[in-house]
């Protein structure tokens, strides 16, 4: 199974989502590898380094971009039950190549005009390569990230409706703005592993719900 997380826009939450899908899968006993294709920033690789240095268990295997990501991705998908791919911003070539062989593509986006425009562009690229995908269409969904913590916020509802009206499916689960996400980067821990004042039960439950929804979509596909 290959789950790719990408958006042309930077800072939308791609790496955090990818890291957490991998960490939760490993914790659930799924044989998983996280492929970091962001050679410039390598946020997933950085998180993994901190995690290893701190000796946090279970280890989450992370690989950085190989010379031929597509071939490596296909090889990895035969070795592991799950490959999570974190795509760097602006890396459309790797994004579309990897999307064509992915079982699920997630496109994180916040409540921001430029992020919304970038997300639309991503879906246009994915539509264009749809015929190369074995389903004839890339199974892509928007993930609303860093949205209001008010579950009933009109702004989040409107954002969902805009995407859905354009034929872009949006995951039911959203990831509201929570400070615990910053702590995960600093500590090499996943949300559910944070301690003391860093810990957020809400953020942990939200990410777990996202993981469950992703698992369900993978099982359906």
Ligand X SMILES: Nc1ncnc2c1ncn2[C@@H]1O[C@H](COP(=O)(O)OP(=O)(O)OP(=O)(O)O)[C@@H](O)[C@H]1O
Give the one residue of 146, 160, 189, 192 binding ligand X; rule: CB under 6 A. Answer: 146
Rank residues 94 and 133 by Cβ distance to ligand X and give the closer one. Answer: 94
Phi then psi for residue 83, to 5 deg, are -120, 120
| The residue to which tokens 């921001």 are assigned | 112
Give the one residue of 3, 4, 15, 37 binding Mg ion; rule: CB under 5 A. Answer: 15
Give the one residue of 2, 4, 12, 101 binding ligand X; rule: CB under 6 A. Answer: 12
Residue 6 sits in the site that holds ligand X (CB under 6 A): no
Residue 39 sits in the site that holds ligand X (CB under 6 A): no
Residue 94 sits in the site that holds Mg ion (CB under 5 A): no
Q: Which of these segments, 24-32, 36-44, 64-72, 113-121, binds ligand X (CB under 6 A)?
A: 36-44
Q: Which of these segments, 20-28, 74-82, 94-102, 177-185, binds ligand X (CB under 6 A)?
A: 177-185
Kindly write out the interface string for residues 106-145 of this chain, putting x where it contacts Mg ion by CB under 5 A and - elsewhere: ----------------------------------------
Residue 14 sits in the site that holds Mg ion (CB under 5 A): yes
d(CA 139, CA 124): 13
d(CA 17, CA 191): 11
Footprint of ligand X on residues 69-128 (CB under 6 A)? 88-89
Give the one residue of 1, 2, 3, 13 binding ligand X; rule: CB under 6 A. Answer: 13
d(CA 194, CA 45): 19
Q: Tell me how far, at minimum, the Cβ of 78 lies from ligand X, in Å.
A: 27
d(CA 38, CA 90): 10
Q: Which of these segments, 38-46, 58-66, 133-141, 169-177, binds Mg ion (CB under 5 A)?
A: 38-46
Q: Tell me how far, at minimum, the Cβ of 110 lies from ligand X, in Å.
A: 8
Please choose which of Mg ion, ligand X, none residue 13 contacts, taking the beta carbon within 5 to 8 angstroms, the exact cut-off set by kind.
ligand X
Binding residues for Mg ion (CB under 5 A): 14-15, 43
């Amino acid at each position: 199974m290959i789950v790719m997380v990408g958006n042309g826009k930077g800072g939308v939450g791609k790496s955090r989502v990818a890291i957490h899908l991998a960490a939760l899968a490993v914790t659930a006993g799924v044989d998983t590898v996280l492929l970091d294709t962001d050679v410039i920033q390598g946020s997933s690789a950085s998180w993994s380094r901190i995690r290893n240095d701190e000796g946090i268990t279970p280890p989450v295997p992370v690989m950085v971009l190989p010379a031929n990501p597509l071939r490596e991705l296909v090889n990895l998908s035969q070795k592991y039950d799950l490959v999570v791919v974190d795509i760097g911003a602006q890396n459309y070539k790797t994004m579309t190549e990897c999307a064509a062989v992915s079982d699920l593509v997630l496109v994180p986006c916040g409540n921001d005009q430029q992020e919304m425009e970038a997300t639309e562009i991503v879906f246009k690229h994915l539509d264009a390569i749809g015929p190369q995908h074995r389903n004839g269409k890339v199974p892509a969904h928007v993930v609303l990230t860093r949205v209001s913590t008010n579950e009933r916020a009109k702004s989040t509802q409107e954002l969902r409706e805009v995407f859905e009206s354009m034929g872009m499916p949006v995951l039911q689960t959203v990831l509201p703005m929570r400070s615990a996400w910053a702590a995960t980067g600093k500590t090499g821990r996943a949300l559910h592993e944070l301690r003391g004042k860093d810990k957020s039960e809400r953020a942990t439950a939200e990410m777990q719900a996202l993981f469950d929804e992703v698992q369900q979509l993978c099982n359906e596909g």
